[in-house]
């Protein structure tokens, strides 16, 4: 696992050990960032269910202003902090050591981009979306990585499914506010 482009390009990242961990592949990561490439620079990015933190680190490397990484696992938090230190991006970030749903109930920030990649088959995306939607800026985008065949809600607050991308067994669903609401 590595940073694909930007200031930390080519840096290798640590990952969590074990068979339950499924880091986002470089192919999927590159595809996701190509869909939001003009929105990343200067953004406030949320990496929810962060794991190794690779998606938020990629965003920071590509010019995001700040990233909040959220994961309840102490081991994941340590890996994220190590990865941030090795890429020199720690000053532009905060690691929230808590449950992702709990974080969303207390977060004060307004995010431009949110990436969710929770453990599969636990119904966490439908629980997170209603809590996350009010924490997004008007032109924001919510990106959910999930298993092929998993049904996600059509809406999340004012956000609606904008597009769904398929990469083998992995799907990424993007939520945006309808265009007429972006102009308000």
> Strands 155-156 and 93-96, how do they pair?
unpaired
**What distance in Å separates the CA atoms of residue 39 and residue 42, rounded to the nearest whole number?**
8
Q: Rounded CA gap, 161 and 133, in Å?
A: 12
The predicted pLDDT at position 3 comes to: 87
- Of 119, 77, 24, which Cα lies nearest the Cα of 127? 119
Cβ neighbour number for residue 167 with a 10 Å cutoff: 15
pLDDT of residue 120: 85
pTM: 0.92
Per-residue pLDDT 10s for the chain (184 aa) are 888 888 888 889 988 876 456 677 788 889 899 999 999 999 999 999 999 999 999 999 999 999 999 999 999 999 999 999 999 999 999 999 999 999 999 999 999 999 999 988 899 999 999 999 999 999 999 999 999 989 899 999 999 999 999 988 899 999 999 874 444 4
* pLDDT for the residue 19: 46
pLDDT at residue 25, rounded to an integer: 78
* Torsion (CA) 23, 13, 136, 141 in degrees, nearest 10: -60
Match domain 26-182 to its CATH number in 3.40.50.150, 3.30.1200.10, 3.40.250.10, 3.40.47.10.
3.40.50.150
For residue 182, the SS3 value is helix
The span from the CA of 52 to the CA of 155, in Å, is 28
Beta-bridge partner residues of 96: 70
């Amino acid at each position: 696992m590595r940073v694909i482009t930007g200031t930390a390009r080519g840096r290798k990242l640590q990952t969590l050990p074990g068979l339950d961990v499924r880091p986002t592949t470089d192919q999927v990561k590159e595809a996701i960032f190509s869909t939001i490439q003009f929105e990343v620079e200067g953004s406030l990015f949320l990496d929810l269910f962060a794991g190794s933190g690779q998606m938020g680190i990629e965003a920071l490397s590509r010019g995001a202003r700040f990233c909040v990484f959220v994961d309840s696992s102490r081991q994941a938090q340590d890996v994220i902090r190590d990865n941030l230190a090795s890429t020199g991006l720690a000053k532009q970030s905060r690691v929230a050591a808590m449950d992702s749903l709990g974080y969303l109930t207390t977060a004060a920030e307004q995010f431009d981009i949110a990436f969710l990649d929770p453990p599969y088959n636990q119904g966490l995306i439908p629980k997170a979306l209603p809590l996350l939607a009010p924490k997004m800026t008007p032109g924001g985008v919510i990106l959910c990585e999930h298993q092929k065949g998993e049904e996600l809600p059509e809406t999340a607050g004012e956000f609606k499914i904008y597009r769904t991308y398929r990469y083998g067994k992995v799907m990424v669903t993007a939520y945006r506010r309808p265009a007429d609401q972006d102009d308000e």
